Amino acid sequence: MKKKKSQTISESTLKRLADYLCVLRYLDDQGMETVSSSVLSSMMNITDSQIRKDLSYFGSFGKKGVGYNVKAFIEAIEKIMNLNEKHNVCIVGVGRLGSALLNYKRIKETPFNIVAAFDNDKKKIGKKIGNITVHNIESIDEVCGNIKCEIAVLTVPSYVVHDVYARIVKAPIASLLNFTPIILTGNDDLLVRNMDFVSELKIISYLLKEKDNADKGKG
Amino acid sequence: MKKKKSQTISESTLKRLADYLCVLRYLDDQGMETVSSSVLSSMMNITDSQIRKDLSYFGSFGKKGVGYNVKAFIEAIEKIMNLNEKHNVCIVGVGRLGSALLNYKRIKETPFNIVAAFDNDKKKIGKKIGNITVHNIESIDEVCGNIKCEIAVLTVPSYVVHDVYARIVKAPIASLLNFTPIILTGNDDLLVRNMDFVSELKIISYLLKEKDNADKGKG
DNA sequence: AATTGTGAACCTCTTCACAGCT
DNA sequence: AGCTGTGAAGAGGTTCACAATT
């Protein structure tokens, strides 16, 4: 297994790596021991050479004439994505969505630990949700200073986003997964990824219309 | 305003269109009437020419020397993405996440109507959550035949995904927004988009490590 | 003076195709 | 024979730079 010199990996490759993991987990659960790039690609709507190229950025993990060992493949991606270490996560905003995430039991099977939650509602502060204590949002800087918390998940209502974002920027938090429809950009010290449910519905709306037009064109 | 002949719009452009909408809404709320591509770009970590190029696929919407009228810009994107029509959505899987989506009040401000929910739990079937009736998952074909439902949102536990997916494929549903960690690919009749929370955390894990290495490199 | 819209240049990502290994 | 890994070709996306317009 060769090591490659560092280079920037594209967003698309990164997403596919995460997808490979999902599919490989499924294959592993099914007891499959070996998989070829062409079998994997047929399960995922991508080409086999795409998979091999994605992997080639990081080294070689397969056997010519044979394919990839499923477990070794999983471990390789986990190592690439730094999933062997546990990562602390906090939930900012304990509404219905935040609570749903706090109660997501199968997160225990992942390298992510939810270690804290924050809200501004006095009725919620101090209570426990799924054995995580809800802290006052004003104490986020202090609490995250004590427990090293790499990732904040933002699930607050839109009208407080800018306020809460300002606190997160100041706190010792490295990254933010933003579920709100307010686009955030981050800075050198805070990596941000936006994940808005309604934006995704809007993209579907566009694609359905486009598909409709294409179908009409053919018909 | 020119019309352009149809061409395939990239995933990246599509995502940015949805992002533009989010930012434009914010500017509109702030009472801003006009915005230039450079102001907009500085709010979003992209270049101004990227914005202008994205728009150029669909026509011209700005005034040279002036910029874009915010409201007109919003309306243009809404028209492009087919957001003037209402779209019916159903929630498949009324667990904590599904319930959170069913209770999301501000969806009323969007073109998406949640019109039905499905589950296999007899304790939930027949009950109302946020004035939407929960139906038996077995009746999805029939219920979606009656109410035209374009988009299904999948929020069931992993172990029933394949089962439920088979039902959705057979039902008169055009698209699926999949929140589960089981990657689905769709087919000619069913458009699928995957939106997995944990995969997104994994991507953050990779990016944080990469950033760490870059920071160390700089010293 | 400011800003759009756009062809051309540039760069990045994907696919091809095949040498090389099992 | 089957499949990987990869350089090269091809396709697609982004940025540049400037003419056109207000």
Q: Stated in angstroms, how far is B49 CA from C8 C1'?
A: 14
Q: Stated in angstroms, how far is B139 CA from C12 C1'?
A: 47
Instruction: Report the distance separating Cα B108 and Cα B114, nearest Å.
Output: 9
- Minimum-distance nucleotide, CA of A66 to C1': D3
- Phi and psi (nearest 5°) for A59? 145, -165
Q: Which residue is nearest to nucleotide C17 (CA to C1')?
A: A49
Q: Can you give the pLDDT at residue B130? A: 86
Return the CA Rg of chain B: 21
Q: Stated in angstroms, how far is A56 CA from D7 C1'?
A: 12
The 10s digit of each residue's pLDDT in B44-56 is: 999 999 999 999 9
Q: Which residues pair with B152 in a beta bridge?
A: B90, B176
Residue B136, burial from CB neighbour count under 10 angstroms (0-12, 13-18, 19+): middle
Contacts of A16 in chain B (CB under 8 A): none
The reply to whether residue B208 touches residue A185, judged by beta carbons under 8 angstroms, is no
Question: Which residues sit close to strand D, CB under 7 Å?
Answer: A 2, 36-38, 48-49, 52-53, 55-56, 60-68; B 8, 10-13, 46-47, 49-50, 52-53, 63-66
Please check the confidence at residue B152 and state whether its pLDDT lies above 80.
Answer: yes
To the nearest whole angstrom, how far is the Cα of B120 from the nearest Cα of chain A? 19
The 10s digit of each residue's pLDDT in B172-216 is: 999 999 999 999 999 999 999 999 999 999 999 999 999 998 887
Report the mean per-residue pLDDT for chain B: 95
Please check the confidence at residue B12 and state whether its pLDDT lies above 70.
Answer: yes
* Residue closest to A36 by CA, chosen among A58, A68, A70, A60: A68
pTM of the model: 0.96
- Nearest chain B residue to A108 by CA: give it: B198
Encoded tokens for B78: 């809404």
- Minimum-distance nucleotide, CA of A62 to C1': D4
Residue B27 contacts strand C, CB under 7 A: no
- Nearest chain A residue to B19 by CA: give it: A183
Q: Can you give the pLDDT at residue A215? A: 81
The reply to whether residue A208 touches residue B22, judged by beta carbons under 8 angstroms, is no
- Minimum-distance nucleotide, CA of B13 to C1': D13
Q: Can you give the pLDDT at residue A219? A: 60
Query: Which string of DSSP letters, residue by residue, matches A107-167?
Result: GGGSSEEEEEEEES-TTTTT-EETTEEEEEGGGHHHHHHHTT--EEEE---GGGHHHHHHH
**Number of A:B CB contacts under 8 A?**
176
Residue ranges for chain A with pLDDT beneath 50 = 1-4
- Sign of the torsion formed by the C-alpha atoms of B64, B68, B72 and B75: positive
